[in-house]
Amino acid sequence: MENATTTLYFHLVPLVVFLPLVGLVINLLIGKKLGEVASGTIASLASGAAFVVACLLMVSLRSNQEAVVVPFAEWIRVGGLAVDWAFRVDTLSVTMMLVVSGVGTLIHIYAIGYMHEDVRLNEDLSRFTRFFVYLNLFIAMMMILVSAESYLMTFVGWEGVGLCSYLLIGFWFEKGKDGTGNAIAAKKAFITNRVGDFGFLVAMFMIFLQFGTLSFSELAHVSAPVGLLGTLVVAGIGLFLLLAVTGKSAQLPLFVWLPDAMAGPTPVSALIHAATMVTAGVYLVARSAPLFALSPVGPQAVAWVGTLTALFAATIAVGQYDIKKVLAYSTISQLGFMVAAVGMGAYVAGMFHLVTHAFFKALLFLSAGSVIQGVEYGHHHDPHADHHAEFDPQDMRNMGGLAGKMKITTAVYIIGALALAGVAPLAGFFSKDEIVAYAFGKNTVMFVMLLLAAFFTAFYMARQVWMVFFGKGRTAAAHGAHENPLIMTIPLMVLAGLSLVGGALNLPHVETLGKWLEHTIEGLHPAEFNWLVAGISLGVAFTGIAAGWFFYGRRSWQPGQNDPVKKWLGPLFTAFERKWWVDEIYNALLLQPYKDLSAILAEPVDQKLIDGIANGLGRMTGWFSRGIGVLQNGLVRSYALVILAGVAAILGYLILR
């Protein structure tokens, strides 16, 4: 009997996609008439219902732990290619569903309060509903991504979330620098992701070429091909999948879009650009584990890219002043940790960090949004402020001393920061430690680089906390800041609770998550808990925090002051501050040559050569007809003469022939 009920739950899986779509359609049709609260509630309920379904699936999986494929509809049948719409319920996909819908629902609720203010600050109330339509669309697309049974269906979700990302980064598309800043940021994200998507497509072609299928179930048991070509193809699959990962998960060298993506409203940064969408790359690697197991090239490259990104982005985060930019680079760095983990084969550690990171990074972003709105409130209610002057409510140099004004936000922010810094016993400690411990045994260089990244992580979070919340307020806006309503702070508290206890998901020697994922990913090694490594990483975290206190906590930051670390690091800090000039380098190496080439193709080639040929042909026809038009002079007698001459010529020819 029990089997019957569990199979019933598995058949609910299409609902994780369709419930958010129902919310979307309702809001799309009548959302504007419903008003803000109702419209936001419907969207949150749609996402919450998807979470309930995901929970039911989890319950079903506990009794029947093998993967279940739920066919939904026939899709593509061409030649040897057969791809159907089918949902795959296994421990890996359900973990992702729980994160996406769970964190997603909290962010939906938070967004009701946040967007209420945001649409007023940006003076367009009609966009409130649109925001929730996009959010629900995102949840639906993300669900397709994680519940897909084949690479092609995953790709549909992959592109769908990319679209939502584009729409939401450019949500205030007419705002930003020079009125095009946000639109340019959205475009940059989309185009950079296209490069990664190209990798995904080529990887899919190669998979189909080599194995003749795109279905995860069938690919789970493939064996390594023999021969040079087969080896090359398998290595190529790994590398092209890596390219896809670098695009979506913002790794070197394609990470440049994520910091600019902060142009979107803060709930978007939390949901899409920290907790869920950007982790799709990590999920993809975990999902492709059987393929990565076939060749050592792919995993090696993935691990190195992840490690380098983790360190590289962490250094940049140290030199940023924008509260959201710090978190953005921090996200890139943490994604680097996850990618490094899955590259090294530590799939559980990677997924574990994915889940805990979703908790505390969503928390940090949402709290940052709360800080920004608090400061903006202070700015708008400052009677002496020049409201036409440029004021950046996200610049940490304009903040300071917010701890007394925003008590809840401060408390949850510090919890999030400690979790991210990796202080025991918060969530980040366990997950990050597992990754570092895995690297310890495998590769010393990676181990040192990851530790260094962890040090910078603790340092920049300490810097941020002291700059934002402690010391004296550096502007009138910081003095006038106030706490936000409960609808925004309650999700923060829930996320703070999850960040506190999230480590319990996979405690050393208990391995809940590890045993859970074992059913999906084969050949997992149990993570060894190493007291030495745990001690070192905890020591690194505390050193980072102490260094942060030394520079930023001991003496309060004064208005107009230079960063105190600049004195110590000199040009190195300038490099952090200027993001290692990556944007400038890309601009000089790729963008400018491309623009120059476009200019050449547009002006001399298209306008002059192509248009010249087309217009020249027309003009020549004109000249020619005007030339022979002279013959038609309207004089009957001259026609007669010509006819006579013609007859004479023909007769002359016939006679003299």
Partner 1 sequence: MNTIPMSYYLVLSAVMFTLGAIGVIIRRNPLVMFMSLELMFNAANLTFVAFSNAFGNANGQIFVFFVMVVAAAEVAVGLALIVAIFRTRHSIDIDLMNTLKN
CB of 626 to partner 1, least distance (A): 8
CB of 633 to partner 1, least distance (A): 5
Taking the least distance from each CB to partner 1, the nearer of 614 and 644 is: 644
Whether residue 431 contacts residue 438, with contact meaning beta carbons closer than 8 Å, is answered with no
Distance between CA atoms of residues 191 and 219, nearest Å: 30
Taking the least distance from each CB to partner 1, the nearer of 532 and 635 is: 635
Taking the least distance from each CB to partner 1, the nearer of 226 and 631 is: 631
Taking the least distance from each CB to partner 1, the nearer of 3 and 633 is: 633
SS3 for 261-303 is HHHCCHHHHHHHHHHCHHHHHHHHHHHCHHHHCCCCHHHHHHH
Taking the least distance from each CB to partner 1, the nearer of 126 and 632 is: 632
Under the criterion CB under 8 A, does residue 654 sit at the interface with partner 1?
no
Which DSSP string corresponds to 3-66?
HHHHHHHHTTTHHHHHHHHHHHHHHHHHHHHH-HHHHHHHHHHHHHHHHHHHHHHHHHHHH--S
Residues 108-137 that bind partner 1 (CB under 8 A): none
CB of 640 to partner 1, least distance (A): 5
Distance between CA atoms of residues 458 and 420, nearest Å: 7
Taking the least distance from each CB to partner 1, the nearer of 228 and 628 is: 628
**What x-and-dash track marks residues 624-653 binding partner 1 by CB under 8 A?**
-----xx-xxxxxx--xx--x---------
Q: Where are the beta strands (DSSP E) in 559-611?
A: none
Taking the least distance from each CB to partner 1, the nearer of 37 and 649 is: 649
CB of 616 to partner 1, least distance (A): 23
Taking the least distance from each CB to partner 1, the nearer of 636 and 656 is: 636
User: How many CB atoms neighbour CB 642 within 10 A?
Assistant: 11
CB of 601 to partner 1, least distance (A): 41
Residues 31-90 that bind partner 1 (CB under 8 A): none
Distance between CA atoms of residues 80 and 143, nearest Å: 28
Distance between CA atoms of residues 144 and 157, nearest Å: 5
CB of 631 to partner 1, least distance (A): 9
**What x-and-dash track marks residues 339-378 binding partner 1 by CB under 8 A?**
----------------------------------------
Residues 230-289 that bind partner 1 (CB under 8 A): none
Residues 567-626 that bind partner 1 (CB under 8 A): none
Taking the least distance from each CB to partner 1, the nearer of 73 and 630 is: 630
- Residue (of 302, 529, 363) closest to 433 by Cα position: 529
Distance of CA 476 to the CA centre of its chain: 35
CB of 648 to partner 1, least distance (A): 10
CB of 624 to partner 1, least distance (A): 14
CB of 587 to partner 1, least distance (A): 58
Whether residue 287 contacts residue 158, with contact meaning beta carbons closer than 8 Å, is answered with no
Distance between CA atoms of residues 482 and 485, nearest Å: 10
Residues 180-209 that bind partner 1 (CB under 8 A): none
CB of 629 to partner 1, least distance (A): 5
**What x-and-dash track marks residues 387-426 binding partner 1 by CB under 8 A?**
----------------------------------------
Backbone φ/ψ region at 177: left (φ over 0), alpha (ψ -120 to 50), beta: beta
- Residue (of 464, 502, 197) closest to 327 by Cα position: 464
Q: Which residue has tokens 């928390």?
A: 363
Taking the least distance from each CB to partner 1, the nearer of 389 and 628 is: 628
Distance between CA atoms of residues 477 and 386, nearest Å: 11
Total residues at interface with partner 1 (CB under 8 A): 11
- Residue (of 493, 336, 363, 490) closest to 419 by Cα position: 363
Binding residues (CB under 8 A) for partner 1: these are 629-630, 632-637, 640-641, 644
